[in-house]
Amino acid sequence: MSKVLIINPILYTAETNQIPKVDSIQDTMIYTMCKGFLKAGHQVTLIAAEDYKPQKEEVYPFPVIWMKTIWHKIFQPRCFPYMPELRKYLKQHRKYDLIICSEMFATWSYTAARVCPDKTLIWHELAAHNQILHRLPSGFWYNIVARLWMSHVTVVPRSESAAAFIRQFSHRVTDMVIDHGVDLDKFPMDEAVQKKKQFVVVSQLIERKRIDRTILAFADFIRRGNEDYRLYLIGDGEEEKALRELVSNRGLEAYVIFCGRMAHEQLMPIVAESQAMLVYTAKDNNMVSIVESIAVGTPVVTTSVPYNAAYIRADRLGIVEDEWSADALSRIVRDNKEYVQNCIDYRDRLSNVHGAECFIGLANLIFR
């Protein structure tokens, strides 16, 4: 049994500096990964920024330490928080066998790399420079800080895209890629589930997700004699009014269903029964919703933007095309059984327990 510390201050995405308050963090990616370590028989502790603490009290099966962030004008909590308590905590708590830090471009990863270099792995997701201040801070960090003061720490990429990017700045990048895992107990695979004539989008309804393009592609698909299909939009956001107007103007009210935000237990049956999840995002990293869709046997039609696109293409878990159209929807329907079976075969590799075991295996090799 290993004692694992995970440092992941940013628990969910905030589009602005006004971080939205949530009632629970139990649907977040990093919470799921922590549970994977527990299920694999290890002790785990999570350190997160206090800014992301849920507004309702929760009880967790592992310790969660909420640390205060400071100097918000420079170290914005939504993208680059600074937790001054962390250094003291790491110096006082030498009990951990493994420390996993999210991202190379991060104050907390720098702190762990300097204080505990013999225990730290950096789990890196980004595959491009951060755009803040015309990429100047990001460029300085990767070219100077990472090269000079973090070069001795091993980096574990979350995708092939992330690996290609970070290898420009670090010579200690593993060949093993560890993606965001899912709790397969929450996403049971029922091969008897019958696919319905429907597609699904699980997303914030915001501009960069390009839900409008998904709707237009679906509208063209409907016009090709597929009037018995439906599109479920699960999520909410500032673009909802405009999207409803688009649906109305195109005469699609009977075909496009706005579901609003739904809990996982409500939305996953819809995902499981769909022919495909549709993704038209213009900007994203690894998307947990894609992983969850594959885990329940539902293939994905996506642009090449999400980092998940590499293995979707390689293992035929769906269709990857920039500016995909109604043609892609026709193909995913035509070959749906093949794509679904590929997702079922791939499912176990998405487990949070599998991810935890990969981390422990790497640590045993690197730190032995």
Burial (CB count <10 Å: 0-12, 13-18, 19+), residue 309: buried
CA distances from 13 to 52, 67, 347 (A): 10, 18, 25
Give CA–CA dist 240/248, Å, rounded.
Answer: 12
What pLDDT sits at residue 49? 97
Residue owning tokens 């933007």: 305
What pLDDT sits at residue 250? 95
The pTM for the full model equals: 0.82
Give CA–CA dist 361/348, Å, rounded.
Answer: 17
Give CA–CA dist 334/221, Å, rounded.
Answer: 13
How does strand 3-7 pair with strand 98-102?
A: parallel
Starting at the edge strand found earlier in the chain, the sheet holding 256-260 runs: 256-260, 230-234, 198-202, 276-278, 300-302, 318-320
What pLDDT sits at residue 307? 87
What pLDDT sits at residue 15? 77
What pLDDT sits at residue 109? 98
Do 48 and 31 contact (CB within 8 A), yes or no?
Answer: no
Tens-digit pLDDT string for the chain (368 aa): 899 999 999 999 887 888 988 999 998 999 999 999 999 999 999 999 999 999 999 999 999 999 999 999 889 999 899 999 999 999 999 899 999 999 999 999 999 999 999 999 999 999 889 888 788 989 999 999 999 999 999 999 998 999 999 999 999 999 999 988 889 988 877 777 899 999 999 999 999 999 999 999 999 999 999 999 999 999 999 999 999 999 999 999 999 999 999 988 899 999 999 999 999 999 887 788 999 999 999 999 999 999 899 899 999 999 999 999 999 999 999 999 999 999 999 998 899 999 999 999 999 999 87
What pLDDT sits at residue 180? 85
Tens of pLDDT, residue by residue over 118-156, are 999 999 999 889 888 788 989 999 999 999 999 999 999
What pLDDT sits at residue 208? 93
What pLDDT sits at residue 321? 97
Do 30 and 355 contact (CB within 8 A), yes or no?
Answer: no
- The DSSP result for 80-97, as a single string, is S---THHHHHHHH----S
